[in-house]
Structures are given as structure tokens and as C-alpha cells.
Amino acid sequence: MIEKKILITLIIIIIIFSLVIFIYHSTNSLTVKHYTIPVKNLPPHFEGFTILHLSDLHNKRFGKNQARLLALIKEQEFDVTALTGDLLDSRNPDIEPIRELLTGLKESDIYYVFGNHDHRLGDDILKLLLKDYGVNILENEATRFRKDNEHIWLLGVEDPSLGLARLDIALAEVNDNAPKILLAHAPNIFPPAVKDNIDLILVGHTHGGQIRAPFLGALYVPGQGFAPEYDYGKFSSANTTMIVNAGLGESVIPLRFNMRPEIVLVTLVAQ
């Protein structure tokens, strides 16, 4: 009887220890996610064009001076960097982890859109920092990204989760049929973007649910509630594709389960 109790106790300890290790791994070990997206009317010089997509840092650090994160990024090949909001965490704002990340990315063209935490804190300090590092901030606007004598459109809208997105204003600047890549913080921009024939949308905000049940996916996402429709990964409708990035940091609960922090690489190919 005593041996049985000891055995049961050991099994419980092993289960708890394994769970702790799994949660720590899910929260702190970085992964790379690759997507290849066919795009209509892709100019020949943009064949294989790759976007590094980062989101939702929430002033988290991956080693001293972001060493682990930057080492992983430097192993990748990409043409431009897209940051889709919430570099800061409004509950515990700290500008230094962002500065460390931007220092490591300074050789790349960077485009940024604001997230709900950035606005909740007040974006003036963050905006000054981003401009110091040459980051292109897109606030309901569009810009041509040129390669040789060809271009695609990069559009950015204010945070859809706060009702600030004005895709119509951004699209008013687009005057040809070149592919349109949209940066936004939250995925509820998807339905209107499909109607406006956006080719590719890059978003974050959901953290992939942050806590994901095996085989079921995200249990809850702010703004979408339980059993969210747009929680993580690739979504397609008509000619529009949306990539929901799981992000790097956490919010509210400082842990992840079955959803590791990630950097995303999106490669464009001709449809």
C-alpha cells in the first residue's frame, strides 16, 4: 500500500515537472514560421521577395540585448521587415527592449503600424524612438516599395481592434494594379480587406491564443471571444490571404501553452 502511494506521488511529480518544462519551453523558445504566398500581377523583380514579420513584443527580452532573437533573425534572408504593433506593453511599459531590437534590425527597411497597447500608453514616445531608427510608420496610408523600376504597395492602417482602421483612406493613395500588402495589428480587418481585393494581410494581436488546447486551437482571443475565427496562421478568401502571427511576447498572463513565440517569413511568388 505504501509503495503504491509512493508510485502515485512520483507519477504526479513527474507530470507536474513535465508540465512546467513544457510551459517554459512554450513561453521562451523561439520558432520560425515560413509561408509562400502566390500573388496576382507580381512584378518579376519581386519573385521570391521575402518579408520578415514580427509582432507583439510586449517589451519582452530574449537574452541580453535581445541576443537570442537577433541571432535567429540574422540567420534568415529577407528583403523588408514588417512590425505589426504592440512592441510595448501598456501595463509595464519599457522602451529598452524595443531599442535593443531596433538596433539589431537597423540594416533592414522597417515598416510599422500601431497596436492597441501602443495607443493605450500614448504613442508619442514610441513614435519618436521609431523615427530615430528610421522606421516607416504607416497610419492609414500607403507607400510604394520599389525594386529597380518596379514596385508593390505597402499599406498600413491604425489598429482595427480599436476601430481606428481607415482602409479607404490608405487605398485612396493606390493608383495602379500593383500588388497590395496590408499591415494591421488585429485580424478583424480581414472581411473589408477581402472586399477591397488586398492581396496579402499581415497581422498579430491574438498571440495565437497564447494558450492553445491540443487539436482544438485557441480557446479565447480578445475581441473575438471564445472559439475565435481568426486565431492563428493562414486564412484565405477570394484573392486575399491573411497571416496571423503568434507574436513574441505575452499579455495579462505571462506564459504560453502550446504556442511558442515566433518570427514569420512570408515569401511572395507569382500566381
Beta bridge partners of 80: 51
* Helix intervals (H) in 56-143: 67-74, 96-104, 116-121, 124-132
Q: What CATH fold (topology level) applies to the domain 2-270?
A: Purple Acid Phosphatase; chain A, domain 2 (3.60.21)
List 111's β-bridge partners, or say none: 82, 136
pLDDT given for residue 240 in this prediction = 97
Instruction: Residue count of the chain, please give it.
Output: 271
What are φ and ψ of residue 66, in 5° steps? 60, 35
Quick one: 108 exposed, middle or buried, by C-beta within 10 A (0-12, 13-18, 19+)?
middle
Alpha carbons within 13 angstroms on the beta-carbon side of residue 113 total 34
The whole-number pLDDT of residue 246 equals 97
Q: Using alpha carbons, select from 125, 133, 131, 132 the residue that is nearest to residue 88.
A: 125
Distance of CA 117 to CAs 61, 78, 124, 170, Å?
17, 27, 13, 22
Domain boundaries, given as residue ranges, for the chain: 2-270
Q: Where do we find the cell 521562451?
A: 28
User: What is d(CA 169, CA 154) in angstroms, rounded to the nearest whole number?
Assistant: 13
Sheet with 136-137, edge to edge strand ranges: 31-39, 262-270, 50-54, 80-83, 110-112, 136-137
Question: Which regions of the chain are under pLDDT 50?
Answer: none
Q: How far apart are CA 134 and CA 156, in angstroms?
A: 16
Amino acid of residue 123: D
- pTM metric for this prediction: 0.92
Per the listing, cell 501553452 goes with: 257
- Would you state the pLDDT for residue 18? 73
What's the rounded Cα separation, in Å, for the pair 218 and 208? 6
pLDDT of residue 123: 66
pLDDT for position 1: 63
Residue-by-residue DSSP string for 72-90: HHHTS--SEEEE-S--S-T
